[in-house]
Amino acid sequence: MEETITKHEYIQGSLFEEDYLVRTLGAIVNYPSIALTELVANAWDAGATKVSITIPDKIGKKLVVEDNGTGLTKEQFQTRWMTLGYNRVKHQGRAVIFPESIDGNRFAYGRNGVGRHGLLCFNREYTVITKAEGAKSTFVISTKDQSQPFVITSNSFSSAKDHGTRLEVIVNKNLPEASEILKILSAKFLHDPRFVVSINGKTVPLEQLKGLLDTFDIHVNGATLKAHFIDSFKSGRSTLYQGIAFWQGGRLVGEPSWILGNEYVLDGRTKFAKRYTVVVKTNDLGNYILEDWSGFKKDEFMNEVYKAVGEYVAKRLGEISRENIGETKAQLVEEYGQEYIELSALAKFEIDEAIDRITTIHPTARPEAVSLAIDTIINLEKTRSGKDLLIKLASLSEEDITGLNDLLEKWSVRDALTVLDEIDNRISIIDAIRKLSNADDVDELHVLHPLVTGARWLFGPEFESAEYASNRQLHNAIEQVFHKKINKSLFNNHKKRPDIVIVADSTLSITGTENFDSNSALTNVNRILILELKRGGSKLSRTERNQAQGYVEDFMGCGNLTGNPSIECYVIGKDLSEKMEGIIMVGDRGRVHTCTFSQLVDTAEKRLFGLREKLRERYDDIPGMTLFNRPHVKQLSLVGK
């Protein structure tokens, strides 16, 4: 056992700057809602059933918090209240002790002895009047001392017939708003109907709570339960008692919990569990309650009740989760920062899709679980080798049998499976583009354009090289070219990459590559790819083609690009209004391609199917290829036909 040093065994103790305690307690002495929440929690821990708070209407008047709990004797006050960081669990246990006149069963909030200092939020001095065991004790507490964090400056003692504690303070800062505090405290402690908190004589009935989101009647084999779904987000801090609370005849049964029977409705560590409370009121479960009211008996009927309540809670949480999906996505984007920004448009689309799916199927999933799923997608994107392998395969002509055989001889079955996976992914993408390009109501900027931009392989294997990325030279050229034509406000994320420019009837994305000039020892832009997608339903004519030709000429003559880059510009729409040449040259370095979405995806699809058949024929007799003889692969190619 460790020995305790007495004051005779050390040379000097610590000194405390005046108001040391106030400056170290943090939120509890700066926010009235948190301070009063903690003081009411103290009353709960003292076995009180009523807490009455009086909040003055202006600075300089008295604020009072009074309860009918057990109170403290002189000795208890001096050891419990006056011990810095008093450990309630160690010295008193978790169970609450009630006054003799009150029958109850509850666990305490208190852990670290901080809550009792809540009155310091309003003044550096306060008064405690507490009654217990026939005695009344009055203490004045102050932090105006350098030798101690807080001290008793005066006390008095007399007899008393009742029990409870009254706290008084003259408010000289942080004057609370009575109506707002009432809403917060009512939501905080609503789980037990026999614990009533009033402010200036007013209480808030359950049905009138501002945080009440929904009330729903549940019927189970003749029993009627009224469920109230409550958002307690406005409470000062998280509480021990969030969960599902059952009220039988106006009395709490057991403790609120997210466990119903043997089933977890919600992980108590999630943000949902810490924010929401469900109160289930009924008069029909009296026969199923244990004698000490600590819970319900094990019974098949109660299993049906738990199932019905659990289904209701899951439904409401799912609805809330879907409503807040935008917030969830924004938080994840912020969490991953630059790592997310640098992902391809397709990878971002996959992440959005994953969040949607997780939110729909598992609305109460912990943030760590969602982050793990996003990590998986990002890591797959980084390590996916199918793209590089497919570039090599696609770069070979149909006639280059020798080159094809040399390449495939070096591949393992894993390489082949990886490429087949990538091919099938791409077939899914072009089918999606085919469908979306024919839909009149599609959000072209946010849906179709990112898909096409992220699938640069549609325009040839040379355009999906890893070296492709917007660079500062190109960015400056884009601003120079398009500031002359459109307002800067029309740029979408004009400071990010890749750049997307919105013009009157279309959207454009511009990306490029750099190479190293060994003669000048400088990098130059050597290739530019411009994709212009016309808005849904529009037909391409010479007007659109000539406009694209102008873009190419402007880039060639803008003066902001070192080197002499070649420029490929694709103008893509739903239909062609007249016969035009598929490709026109612009000078000796530029080309403008005019095509429809159908032409684009048909060409890509034909090439992809051809590549897939070559691989399947070559590796079909090797063990492991059976992994790809799955029904969904064949079905995938038929989507959108």
In this predicted model, what pLDDT tens digit does every residue of 615-633 receive, in sequence order?
Answer: 666 655 554 444 445 443 3
Half-sphere exposure of 194 (CA within 13 A, CB side): 19
Contact between 65 and 39 (Cβ < 8 Å): yes
Q: Does an H or E element contain 414, and which? A: helix 413-437
Domain C-terminal end among 287, 317, 347: 317
What does 451-465 look like in DSSP terms, one character per residue?
A: HHHHTGGGG-GGGG-
Based on the fold, state whether residues 136 and 247 are members of the same structural domain.
no
pLDDT at residue 159 in the model:
93
pLDDT at residue 616 in the model:
65
Based on the fold, state whether residues 33 and 162 are members of the same structural domain.
yes
Based on the fold, state whether residues 156 and 237 are members of the same structural domain.
no
**pLDDT tens-digit readout, 179-229:** 888 888 877 777 788 888 999 999 887 777 777 888 999 999 999 999 999
How many angstroms separate the CA atoms of 483 and 491, rounded?
9
How many angstroms separate the CA atoms of 102 and 195, rounded?
12
- Whether the pLDDT of residue 414 is over 70: the answer is no
Contact between 266 and 364 (Cβ < 8 Å): yes
Model confidence band, residue 335 (pLDDT cutoffs 50, 70, 90): confident
- Selection from 102-116, 229-243, 512-526, 551-565 with the highest mean pLDDT: 551-565
**Could you tell me if residue 526 is inside a domain?**
yes
Tokens encoding 424: 């099938």
Of residues 10 and 452, more confidence is placed in 452
Torsion sign over Cα 249, 254, 256, 259: negative
Domain C-terminal end among 365, 383, 401: 383
Of residues 384 and 356, more confidence is placed in 356
pLDDT at residue 517 in the model:
61
Angle between helices 300-323 and 345-361 (to 10 degrees): 150
pLDDT at residue 91 in the model:
81
**pLDDT tens-digit readout, 41-95:** 899 989 999 999 999 999 999 999 999 999 999 999 988 888 877 777 788 877 8
How many angstroms separate the CA atoms of 126 and 128, rounded?
7
Other CB atoms within 10 Å distance of the CB of residue 208: 10
Q: Which residue has the tokens 């409503």?
A: 323
**Could you tell me if residue 153 is inside a domain?**
yes
What average pLDDT does the segment 526-545 reach? 80
Model confidence band, residue 384 (pLDDT cutoffs 50, 70, 90): low
- Whether the pLDDT of residue 277 is over 50: the answer is yes
- Whether the pLDDT of residue 123 is over 80: the answer is yes
CA-nearest of 244, 250, 241 to 285 is: 250
How many angstroms separate the CA atoms of 410 and 503, rounded?
47
pLDDT at residue 56 in the model:
95
Model confidence band, residue 534 (pLDDT cutoffs 50, 70, 90): confident
**Could you tell me if residue 276 is inside a domain?**
yes
- Whether the pLDDT of residue 120 is over 50: the answer is yes
Model confidence band, residue 363 (pLDDT cutoffs 50, 70, 90): low
How many angstroms separate the CA atoms of 607 and 595, rounded?
17
What average pLDDT does the segment 111-120 reach? 81
**Could you tell me if residue 51 is inside a domain?**
yes
Strands 539-540 and 566-573: unpaired
Alpha-carbon dihedral angle through residues 383, 386, 388, 393, given to the nearest 10 degrees: 170
Structural domain containing residue 472: 453-597
Quote the pTM value.
0.50
* Coil/strand/helix, residue 21: helix
- Selection from 220-224, 409-413, 554-558, 636-640 with the highest mean pLDDT: 220-224
Alpha-carbon dihedral angle through residues 157, 162, 165, 169, given to the nearest 10 degrees: -70
What average pLDDT does the segment 378-384 reach? 62
**Could you tell me if residue 189 is inside a domain?**
no
Based on the fold, state whether residues 313 and 335 are members of the same structural domain.
no
Of residues 435 and 238, more confidence is placed in 435
How many angstroms separate the CA atoms of 366 and 378, rounded?
19
Based on the fold, state whether residues 162 and 47 are members of the same structural domain.
yes
**Could you tell me if residue 63 is inside a domain?**
yes
Based on the fold, state whether residues 41 and 161 are members of the same structural domain.
yes
Q: Which residue has the tokens 């001290």?
A: 151
Based on the fold, state whether residues 211 and 308 are members of the same structural domain.
yes
**Could you tell me if residue 476 is inside a domain?**
yes
- Whether the pLDDT of residue 438 is over 70: the answer is yes
Based on the fold, state whether residues 143 and 233 are members of the same structural domain.
no
pLDDT at residue 74 in the model:
93
Which CATH number fits the domain that encloses residue 214? Answer: 3.30.230.10
**Could you tell me if residue 612 is inside a domain?**
no
Q: Which residues of 382-408 are buried (b: 16+ CB within 10 A; e: fewer)?
A: eeeebbebbbebbebeeeeeeebeebb
**pLDDT tens-digit readout, 159-172:** 998 999 999 999 99
Number of structural domains in the chain? 4
Based on the fold, state whether residues 313 and 329 are members of the same structural domain.
no
- Whether the pLDDT of residue 296 is over 90: the answer is yes
Based on the fold, state whether residues 129 and 233 are members of the same structural domain.
no
Based on the fold, state whether residues 265 and 337 are members of the same structural domain.
no
Tell me the pLDDT of the chain averaged across its residues. 76
Based on the fold, state whether residues 302 and 355 are members of the same structural domain.
no
CA-nearest of 127, 129, 201, 119 to 164 is: 129
